Amino acid sequence: MKESKVLIVGAGLAGSEAAHFLAQRGIKVVLVESKAKNPNPAQKVKTAAELVCTNSLKSLNPTSGHGLLKFEMEKLGSLILAAGKKTAVPAGDALAVDRVLFSELIHKTLVENPNITYIEEEVIDPLETGKKYNCDYLVLASGPLTTEPLAAWIKEKIANDDFYFYDAIAPVVDAESLDFSKLYYKDRYKPVGAEEGEEADYLNCPLSKEEYENFVFELTQAEKVPPKNFEELKYFEACLPIDTMAERGKETLRFGCMKPVGLETPEGRIPYACVQLRKENLLGSAFNLVGFQTRLNYKEQVRIFQTLPGFKDAKFIHLGSVHRNSFLHSGRVLNFDLSSKEIPCLYFAGQITGVEGYTESASMGLYVALQIYRKIKNLEPIKFPNETAVGALINYLMTQTRPSPSSINFGLLPPVVLSKKEGRGRDGKKFKKNLMAIRAQEKFEDLLKQMRYDLKDEGF
């Protein structure tokens, strides 16, 4: 019987994980990487799995979203985490690495594996390249800076309008850090009292004329993140950063995302301007500042957003940004095992699927490799429970109506319900996270049992 062979495009974080997972199980892999021939401006080294910005793989704490994801990745035999631990530098409870040693170690592990053929080449048409190397399955793990010809191929053959080139991220604030006495729930144009309190989808932050004008002034003066030389920023008019809108004129924001029309306060007064906050999850534990994508640097965002009514002690789960990023609307064009609906032997892994972050991207490499391995063994794709970190990321990708890349956080997992007493204050939050972490680990262990049974214990 002919041996299966897998083509993986991109030796970044996801591609390296996928190649290693398959090769360790005896599957032949052709790993094709373009950067030695055609590096993008963020790349500095020639070796695989390059960390292009910070050297941190984030928290190791098992009761954080990142800690949970690491627990699951280690159980799946993550090369990225093993190399990370061998090349770690001190960083408290985070896993930070010596990025050069990290990348060299991963590169060496890959090229020395007899089942991996590492080829320096830019892929333009993956089907042609797959044919050239006689591969049965293809994985596109070409990342946020996928080269232009390949991006054009993906758009034409797979995604059409469901492929994005820029990512405008609005900040997300932790609900517990807000002063709710200064905010009110109401959906635009719904009569006052139509949805009582938390029944409404939006929480509103009303501003007086003076507060609004100060806010706009601060936005125009604040320090911005300069675009990288490969980011010629061309914005969609419907998705302008708030600082760009503020620069266009004092009133622009009041006619844009800070429009107060239809947002009467409970007393029936129309505020001068209004920031709308949308629930990030069913729990209402985090809120997205609607339309607040911004180029302001992080320090300035915190300083200026904390001047908003109710935001004095605001803590942000993540801050806003605008950057170059190629990603799919996975829920529309991919199946839950991340194979293409259009071309079933073609899979996507890494940031291009719509996750955000080094570890999240790597975890998608492991996930896809596992699904391909099952396929090679004539097994059905396996669903990861939504209560696990990997399962929650997949569920997020598959259910987004307006895709917006996300890192792993507890808001993506189904909530645990606590009594009022248990859920109160700081301890309640910690207690909830602990319960979610324990539940996730139990569900993941059950999944491993199933995989061991299906695959007769091969390497789990």
Residues engaged in binding ligand FAD (CB under 6 A): 9-15, 32-35, 42, 52-54, 122-123, 141-147, 150, 350-352, 357-358, 361
CB of 323 to ligand FAD, least distance (A): 6
Sheet containing strand 28-33, edge to edge, reads: 116-120, 28-33, 5-9, 137-140, 346-348
Number of CB atoms found within 10 A of residue 100's CB: 15
Q: For residue 54, which amino acid is it?
A: T
CB of 147 to ligand FAD, least distance (A): 4
Structure token pair of residue 394: 């997949």
Structure token pair of residue 48: 């695989």
Among 283, 302, 292, 301, smallest CA distance to 205 is for 292
Q: Which is nearer to ligand FAD, 59 or 142 (CB)?
A: 142
Question: Dihedral through CA 142, CA 34, CA 156, CA 404, nearest 10?
Answer: 30
Q: Please state, in angstroms and rounded to a whole number, the distance separating the CA atoms of residues 155 and 223.
A: 35
Q: Which is nearer to ligand FAD, 151 or 283 (CB)?
A: 151
Q: Which is nearer to ligand FAD, 235 or 298 (CB)?
A: 298
Number of CB atoms found within 10 A of residue 394's CB: 25
CB of 114 to ligand FAD, least distance (A): 22
CB of 131 to ligand FAD, least distance (A): 16
Among 436, 94, 71, smallest CA distance to 285 is for 436
Ramachandran category for residue 457: left, alpha or beta (phi over 0 → left; psi -120 to 50 → alpha): left
Residues 6+ apart with CB under 8 A from 241: 168, 235, 293, 294, 295, 320, 322
Q: Which is nearer to ligand FAD, 89 or 270 (CB)?
A: 89
Q: Which is nearer to ligand FAD, 294 or 361 (CB)?
A: 361
Among 41, 40, 35, 43, smallest CA distance to 10 is for 35
Q: Which is nearer to ligand FAD, 83 or 352 (CB)?
A: 352
Find residue 279's DSSP bridge partners: 287
DSSP type of residue 160: G
Q: Which is nearer to ligand FAD, 140 or 277 (CB)?
A: 140
CB of 325 to ligand FAD, least distance (A): 6
Angle at 440 between CA 435 and CA 444, to 5 degrees: 150
Output the residue with the shortest Cβ distance to ligand FAD: 12
CB of 357 to ligand FAD, least distance (A): 4
Q: Please state, in angstroms and rounded to a whole number, the distance separating the CA atoms of residues 58 and 64.
A: 10
Exposure string for 116-125, b = 16+ CB within 10 A, e = fewer: bbbbebbbee
Q: Which is nearer to ligand FAD, 58 or 432 (CB)?
A: 58
Find residue 97's DSSP bridge partners: 88
From the centroid of its chain, how far is CA 401? 15
Q: Which is nearer to ligand FAD, 122 or 162 (CB)?
A: 122
Residues 6+ apart with CB under 8 A from 119: 30, 31, 32, 33, 133
CB of 319 to ligand FAD, least distance (A): 13
CB of 276 to ligand FAD, least distance (A): 28
CB of 163 to ligand FAD, least distance (A): 14
CB of 358 to ligand FAD, least distance (A): 4
Q: Which is nearer to ligand FAD, 13 or 69 (CB)?
A: 13
